[in-house]
């Protein structure tokens, strides 16, 4: 699969069988929302309005807008509400894609509960916010990484051109976690190539 970031909490995953968007920029977002194509979309917020076209003509987009278990195009999704009680602000998602467990903590601004830690145990690829100012900052993100011990970490929701809200730069997170990962536009991840010993930090633009 290939993973790239879309800004804020947005991520795009291209597998062999599907294009999956996780928390893509909405029409109300600070980012100018491009018109994406997708097979499966997990909304960042249940109320989000997104500008997305079906990847395949005559096929509807499979949209996830609430907590629960889902399956589409061979991908299994488990979504939790954030926060667990009250109005849902974002979805915390675990998706098993091509045998790789990808956890996306969109919009998270707090420590994970014991139940959430148990659910996300076994995460291979962790995509989590690290920019502070309403979402996890570098230190809070580092704490969750130490708890989950994923094989690959991709920080998101950091400073980006075009944003009015001031987030911490990804360099602050890299310094916190002791990484000098060079920036790249996208990354290819396969189950057989997952690191077995050391954790890999990937710095996506």
pLDDT recorded at residue 182: 97
pLDDT recorded at residue 68: 97
Query: Which residue range is the domain that position 177 belongs to?
Result: 2-204
Q: How confident is the model at residue 115 (pLDDT cuts 50, 70, 90)?
A: very high
Percent of the chain at pLDDT exceeding 90 = 88
* Structure letter (DSSP) for residue 134: S
What CATH number is associated with residue 60? 3.60.15.10
The tally of domains found in the chain comes to: 1
Tell me the sheet residues that pair with 91. Answer: 81
Residue (of 2, 45, 3) closest to 26 by Cα position: 45
Query: With 80 as the cut, is the pLDDT of residue 33 above it?
Result: no
What is the number of alpha carbons within 13 Å of residue 145 lying toward its C-beta?
Answer: 27
Tell me what the mean pLDDT of segment 24-38 comes to. Answer: 85
Give the 3-state secondary structure of residue 3.
Answer: strand
pLDDT in tens, 116-149: 999 999 999 999 999 999 999 999 999 999 999 9
Query: With 90 as the cut, is the pLDDT of residue 67 above it?
Result: yes
Tell me what the mean pLDDT of segment 182-191 comes to. Answer: 97
Percent of the chain at pLDDT exceeding 70 = 100
pLDDT in tens, 84-94: 889 999 999 99
Classify the phi-psi angles of 99: left when phi > 0, otherwise alpha if psi is within -120 to 50, otherwise beta. left
Query: With 70 as the cut, is the pLDDT of residue 168 above it?
Result: yes
Asked if residue 107 lies in contact with residue 52, where contact means CB atoms within 8 angstroms, the answer is: no
Question: What is the overall mean pLDDT for the chain?
Answer: 95
d(CA 137, CA 167): 9
- Angle between helices 170-177 and 138-148 in degrees, nearest 10: 50
Other CB atoms within 10 A of residue 63 CB: 15
Contacts of 92 (CB under 8 A, 6+ apart): 79, 80, 81, 82, 103, 104, 105, 106, 108, 116, 120
What is the number of alpha carbons within 13 Å of residue 133 lying toward its C-beta?
Answer: 12
Tell me what the mean pLDDT of segment 40-54 comes to. Answer: 93
pTM (predicted TM-score): 0.97
d(CA 126, CA 145): 8
Q: How confident is the model at residue 31 (pLDDT cuts 50, 70, 90)?
A: confident
């Amino acid at each position: 699969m290939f993973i790239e970031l879309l800004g804020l909490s947005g991520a795009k995953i291209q597998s062999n069988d599907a294009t999956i968007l996780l928390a893509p920029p909405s029409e109300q977002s600070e980012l100018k929302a491009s018109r994406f194509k997708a097979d499966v979309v997990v909304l960042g917020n249940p109320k989000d309005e997104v500008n997305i076209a079906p990847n395949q003509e005559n096929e509807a987009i499979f949209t996830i807008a609430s907590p629960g278990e889902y399956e589409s195009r061979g991908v299994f999704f488990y979504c939790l509400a954030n926060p667990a009680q009250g109005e849902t602000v974002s979805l915390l998602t675990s998706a098993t894609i091509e045998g790789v467990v990808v956890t996306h903590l969109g919009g998270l601004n707090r420590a994970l509960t014991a139940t959430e830690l148990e659910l996300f145990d076994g995460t291979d690829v962790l995509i989590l916010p690290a920019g502070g100012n309403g979402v996890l900052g570098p230190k809070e993100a580092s704490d969750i990484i130490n708890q989950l011990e994923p094989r690959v970490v991709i920080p998101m929701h950091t400073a980006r051109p075009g944003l009015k809200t001031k987030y911490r730069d990804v360099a602050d997170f890299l310094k916190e976690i002791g990484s000098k990962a060079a920036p790249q536009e996208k990354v290819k991840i396969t189950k057989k190539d997952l690191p077995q010993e050391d954790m890999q930090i990937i710095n996506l633009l």
